Amino acid sequence: MQRICSAVAMLLVCVCSGCASFSPITVSLPWQKQIPEPTKEQSPAVQHADFDTKVGAVHLSAPAKNANPASAVQQVAYYQPTPVAPPQRPPYCEFSPAMKRDYVLPAGNDPAVVQMYPDEYLFDGGDREHPVHYDDYSRLGLDTEDTIVEYQTHKGKQEVKKSNRVAVYAPRFAAIRSASSPIAGTSVDSLAKTEDTIHGVGLAARTVITQHKQREQLEGIRMRSRASGVETEQRQGAVDQSAFISGHTKLSNLFQDTGTKSTGQFQQSDEARIGYQIQAAAIWSRTQFPVIAIRARSAHESKRAVKPEEYIGVEDKRKTEGNLKLIKLADKKNAEPGDVITFTIKYQNIGDFDVDGIKIVDNLTPRLEYVNDSATSDRKGRLVVEDNQEGSLILTFEVDETVVGHEGGTVTFQARVR
């Protein structure tokens, strides 16, 4: 049975392969790879449909007729590596006229491209590299391009916030050159054209450790103690003391002492007095009993509840602490050397309470030159300009006014692109 099936299958295969030209249905098998006819590649006259030939002289050259690897003679004469895949047409021309495009590129700077190629942009704002921090005396971490705001809340807390980052497309190019002679081993070096781009001031500090010797010598102290031959004699003397307790009798009878002078004469006038005294003596002579006085004392507990009947005052509905938000804007998205860019820094207190002591600090990148007297502010204050030691300036806008909650202000300045 198996043999019959295999024979039938082989017969079908033979029929299909042999009668392919006759059958209207062609079956292509894997081993029947059809080689297409070689088509002659012709370079089109206009290879990029997006170009507008009416606008200007747009000319697209045709690629080489022979895109294969160069011949041996060509390699000897001029080494030209063969491109991996010679493009038939420019695959992507960003400078095609926009109206002829069948797609729309996003307007402005693409954030992903900005992040990918930051060396083509001028940045200002944000907090680059090390974040701004403080030690006891100074501010640290303020790099070029950084823009921050310092302020004080109503609780006395010092706060610092950074702004957003503004990107302006402004690539700048430079060249580096060397000239060599065909004679081996020689070189031409033009030192006069060397430009030093390092602006750091070299500080050489040398600390010499002086040798300090301290020598302490122990002086020999000798002490000698001798048992002295002093003898102390102590004699116990016998002390005899005789004490005689003398008897002392005192008899006083106050009740009988009436002070009556016993003169031997009894006068009538003394009778009453003596009688009274006798009566008194009789009273006093009665049995004297102790009189107990009892006095009860009880602790009293006092309770008092004070209930305000009326409360008069102003209720402060402010809840959130003062919080500044810093927004930086530039009037240009792309610039060339010599262009003037106007930067606008808006600060807004998004908290409820006031903030004081606002300082907006902007450390300009070396390619931005501050235009003198171009700074403005809608609140009272001053501008402090200092060198950032990197070829540009640090602008500090000090705002004198207190910014209440949900209000803000604006400062602007201009900078020229170098």
Partner 1 sequence: MTIFKHQNRSRLLTMLLMAMIAFAIELPSAWSQQMVGGRKYNSGNQFYHPLNQRTPPGVAGQWAAISGQVQAGYIQPMQVSLPSKGVVTFYAGSVDRKIQKASPAPIGFSVGYVYRIKISGMPEFPGVELYPTIELIDRLHPPAGLAETYPVPVSLNPEDIELALSGRMVTKVVYLERPQTAVPAKFERQPTLAITAKKNLIAEADLLGRPMAIIRMGGRLPSTRGDDPAFFGSGAPVVELKNNRTQN
Residue 27 Cα distances to 19, 33, 287, angstroms: 10, 11, 157
Contact between 169 and partner 1 by CB under 8 A: the answer reads yes
Nearer to partner 1, 175 or 209 (CB): 175
| Closest-CA residue to 415 (of 331, 359, 347) | 331
Separation CA 366–CA 390 (nearest Å): 6
Among 1, 19, 35, 175, binds partner 1 (CB under 8 A): 175
How many chain residues touch partner 1 (CB under 8 A)? 87
Which H helix or E strand runs over 357? strand 355-363
Q: Which amino acid is at 290?
A: P
Q: Point out which span in 62-70, 281-289, 349-357, 375-383 binds partner 1 (CB under 8 A).
A: 62-70
By CB under 8 A, name the one of 13, 29, 62, 281 that touches partner 1: 62
Considering only CA atoms, which of 42, 47, 74, 72 is closest in space to residue 59? Answer: 47
Options 90, 111, 275, 357; binder of partner 1; rule CB under 8 A: 90
Q: How far is CA 119 from the centre of its chain?
A: 25
Site for partner 1 (CB under 8 A): which residue of 32, 74, 164, 260?
A: 74
Q: What is the Cα–Cα distance from 259 to 319, expressed in whole angstroms?
A: 94
Closest CB to partner 1 among residues 22, 173: 173
- Give the C-alpha separation, 244 to 89, whole Å: 149
Determine contact, residues 319/352, Cβ cutoff 8 Å.
Answer: yes
The verdict on 385 binding partner 1 (CB under 8 A) reads no
Query: At which residue do the structure tokens 């102590």 appear?
Result: 234
Q: Which stretch binds partner 1 (CB under 8 A): 157-165, 209-217, 242-250, 361-369?
A: 361-369
Least distance CB 384 / partner 1 (angstroms): 20
- Select the span of 87-95, 218-226, 265-273, 349-357 touching partner 1 (CB under 8 A): 87-95
379 scored as a contact of partner 1 (CB under 8 A): no
Q: How far does CA 158 lie from the centroid of its chain?
A: 12
Only segment of 183-191, 289-297, 317-325, 376-384 that touches partner 1 (CB under 8 A): 183-191
Residue 121 interacts with partner 1 (CB under 8 A): yes or no = yes
Q: Does residue 386 touch partner 1 according to CB under 8 A? A: no
326 touches 149 (CB < 8 A):
yes
45 binds partner 1 (CB under 8 A): no
